[in-house]
Structure 1
Amino acid sequence: MTRASGVGSWPGDDATDFAEAQRVVLGELDLPHLVELPGRGAPATTTGRGLALVAELGADLQPAGWRLTGGGAGVDHRRARSLLAQDLDALEEQGQGLTGPVKVQVAGPWTLAATVERPRGDKVLADHGARRDLAQALAEGVRDHVADLRRRLPDATSYVVQVDEPALPGVMAGRVPTASGFGRHRTVHPPEASALLEEVLGAVVAAGAEPWAHCCAPSEDGAVLRLLRGAGARGLLVDADLLTAADHDQLAESLEAGGTVGLGLVAHGAPVPTDTTLVERVERWCDLVGLDLEAHAGGIVLTPACGLAGAAAGAARRTCTTLASAARALTP
């Protein structure tokens, strides 16, 4: 069956908003996910959530952003861990008896390396050893995270970990600015980029979950999706409006190989389309890439184009409802 899911983020800035958002997601989506509310501040953003999982590395929040400390966790790092634990408690409470799949999201190793500074300044991205250490710590944290999720929701049929890599195209193209803003970090070539991704995606598999990757930033020649597939991502989540011809080919090949494709169809800030419109878009996409929709419907997941943090709560809720309705209509 075709499924509906979310990318992760949701509007709101407190525990009440979180609880309501999680209820909507659990009630409406075939593949519910742990909701993220970045409106609560830096500890709840993609980078903050990623650092909350990092084992054996401390961080603190500086005016320029997150920085590794080389020692213990700072107050904001501890708050990030506390928020994640509270959110998992709420998911466990609301998800009792959940017998379908469930998804969680985590920042990928390259996005963390491009957004977190070393103790002595500049991004982790600038230091081969530091970015390897960060990826290994993240992999260990992901293994613990999946084990915790399996303990909390033991009746779920499957567990999915979505590795978010919005910075990966910039890392591969040498577009990430240095701390001074006057230069750019060197391009990271595919073999090295793949090695760190394999570390984290492999940890997901070792923990008994399915590794997906999400990147809604455009890339050239399908390079990012090709890299993610080669590194072990069994699901690819994209913004359908930003795909190149080579991206379409990569997604079609993934579906034909038994993988999952998450088509981001509802753009942030635009009116929520009807379920009929979404169905027609999926049908046109399958025609474009030369795939039989009925044969591959089970590998397609309908999602927003990116996170919903900037949407109104009502629009976010309508997006979920419409995606779920379209997914049902597409199921053979």
Structure 2
Amino acid sequence: MSGPRTPAGTRAGSAGAPETSVAPAASEAGPLTVPWGSATGVGSMPGGDARESAKAVTGTFERFPYLAELPARGPGADMIGRTAGLLVEVYAHVEPSGWRISDRPGRDTRRARSWLGEDLDALEEFTQGYEGPLKVQVTGPWTLAAALELKNGEAALSDPGACRDLTASLVEGVGAHLAEVRRRVPGAAPVLQLDEPSLTAVLRGQVRSASGYRTHRAVDRQVVEGALREVLAVVGAGTDAGVTGRAAGIARAGATVVHSCAPDVPFALLRRAGAAAVSFDAGLLTERDDEAIGEAVEGGTKLFAGIVPGTDGPLSDPAGSVMGVRTLWRRLGLNPGTLAESVVLTPVCGLAGASPAYARAAQAHCVRAARSLADNPE
């Protein structure tokens, strides 16, 4: 950063490049409100027992639980298949090369929907009487377009019309999914997380073709932003209906997150698209991200900072795990007292590849680290 932060939350003498100095998107409903000193998970958990996972998640993240994904169950429980099962009038089945768009629903679609139903049943059981934010994850439109194949075997990303159809179908499917979550947990405010690990590759033209000998053309940034805005706007479109108590205020605030554990997360683009929070691997940040992150925080965007590895390994003490976040705050010249309200701590990515014992320990570690951040902001 090239200057100190003023008390009003702006940088003195800042000119700002167009990519980083942006106003909140017009469609954005407002900042996300989360409990002070919060932690939550990213999405996936090891194993295949929906009740056991729901019990572990809600027991650990009492103030910010999430709907766990269990990809170990097989196709349909994975990130792409789970979201494909949500699509409306677009279907997919499994081929040796991955998920391919179909003309009609088949066994794989039915399996995906069945497993999601089991997960919702388990979540409902362990969230009786709960009020507060509740995170649900779906694959974002661009990672979905990069992963789903057309009938010719090429990614849907290769066809702009197919991308538009996927986005429209996803909007409708996500709307129905959020309505179901609200029905089952009426006191909760769903926080929609779009998983977009392929987003940077899509923007840079780095998604490989089916042959592997070439890459698909980079998608225009305005097109990328527009599709993300369409999906994120689903939250604001129906948050008031059936949402009560403390949850209503969070819902109206615009509860949306975009997650990417890849390097070079496009913070400014995501903010313009209406994301109320950005979820990322804190270990991949560099100083070239500072300007975009500083602008985002000052504009009210929350940071979901991944601080714990997603696979088994040693865990440092909770205070040590947040040193990188504290260092970032000092480098940006931000008030340390705002850390606990601006940052939610998470693992760096999903925990599907971890052992059950490590997954439990990693999530509990995030909770302790968030408490340390709140109790000792300096």
Partner of 2:277: 235
Deviation of residue 287 (structure 1)? 1.0
CA-to-partner distance for each residue in 1:185-214, whole Å, 9 max, x for gaps? 001121111111111111222132511100
Deviation of residue 49 (structure 1)? 1.3
The answer to whether 1:159 aligns with 2:190 is yes
TM-score normalised by L of structure 1: 0.94
Q: Give 1:246's match in structure 2, choosing from 277, 280, 288.
A: 288
The answer to whether 1:322 aligns with 2:368 is no
Higher-Rg structure is: 2
Give the distance between the partners of 1:63 and 1:140, measured in 2 at CA: 28
For 2:216, the aligned partner's letter is H
For 2:347, the aligned partner's letter is P
Percent of aligned pairs with the same amino acid: 44
Q: Is the 8 A contact 2:92 2:105 kept in 1?
A: yes
Deviation of residue 304 (structure 1)? 0.4
Q: Give 1:197's match in structure 2, choosing from 221, 228, 232.
A: 228
CA-to-partner distance for each residue in 1:131-187, whole Å, 9 max, x for gaps? 10001100111111111111110112x220000000111111111111111111001
Q: Is the 8 A contact 2:267 2:296 kept in 1?
A: no
Partner of 2:257: 212
> Which residues of structure 1 form unaligned runs of 5+?
none
Partner of 2:336: 293
Pairing of 1:272-291 with structure 2 (within 5 A): 272-291=315-334
Deviation of residue 21 (structure 1)? 1.9
Give the distance between the partners of 2:86 and 2:238, measured in 1 at CA: 14
Partner of 1:26: 58
CA RMSD between the two structures: 1.4
Deviation of residue 232 (structure 1)? 0.8
Deviation of residue 20 (structure 1)? 1.7
Partner of 2:96: 63
Q: Is the 8 A contact 1:61 1:77 kept in 2?
A: no
Give the distance between the partners of 2:165 and 2:128, measured in 1 at CA: 36
Deviation of residue 321 (structure 1)? 1.1
Q: Give 2:86's match in structure 1, choosing from 53, 65, 78.
A: 53
Q: Is the 8 A contact 2:44 2:352 kept in 1?
A: yes
Partner of 1:90: 122
Give the distance between the partners of 1:288 and 1:268, measured in 2 at CA: 27
Partner of 2:16: none
Give the distance between the partners of 2:290 and 2:373, measured in 1 at CA: 20
Give the distance between the partners of 2:356 and 2:238, measured in 1 at CA: 34
TM-score normalised by L of structure 2: 0.83
Pairing of 1:91-240 with structure 2 (within 5 A): 91-156=123-188, 158-208=189-239, 209=251, 210-219=255-264, 224-240=266-282
Q: Is the 8 A contact 2:85 2:91 kept in 1?
A: no
Give the distance between the partners of 2:291 and 2:183, measured in 1 at CA: 38
Bigger helix share: 1
Partner of 2:7: none
Q: Is the 8 A contact 2:282 2:324 kept in 1?
A: no
Deviation of residue 121 (structure 1)? 2.7
Please give the secondary structure, in 2, of the residue aligned with 1:3: coil
> Which residues of structure 2 form unaligned runs of 5+?
1-35, 240-250
For 1:5, the aligned partner's letter is T
CA-to-partner distance for each residue in 1:238-272, whole Å, 9 max, x for gaps? 00111132323322222221221001001233312
Deviation of residue 319 (structure 1)? 1.0
Deviation of residue 10 (structure 1)? 0.9
Give the distance between the partners of 2:232 and 2:146, measured in 1 at CA: 18
Q: Is the 8 A contact 1:255 1:296 kept in 2?
A: no
Q: Is the 8 A contact 1:272 1:315 kept in 2?
A: no
For 1:4, the aligned partner's letter is A
Give the distance between the partners of 1:226 and 1:77, measured in 2 at CA: 35
Give the distance between the partners of 1:313 and 1:331, measured in 2 at CA: 28
Give the distance between the partners of 1:129 and 1:204, measured in 2 at CA: 24
Q: Is the 8 A contact 2:315 2:362 kept in 1?
A: yes
Q: Is the 8 A contact 2:308 2:347 kept in 1?
A: yes
Give the distance between the partners of 1:296 and 1:240, measured in 2 at CA: 14
Deviation of residue 329 (structure 1)? 2.3
Partner of 1:79: 111
Give the distance between the partners of 1:268 and 1:91, measured in 2 at CA: 22
Please give the secondary structure, in 1, of the residue aligned with 2:85: helix
Partner of 2:242: none
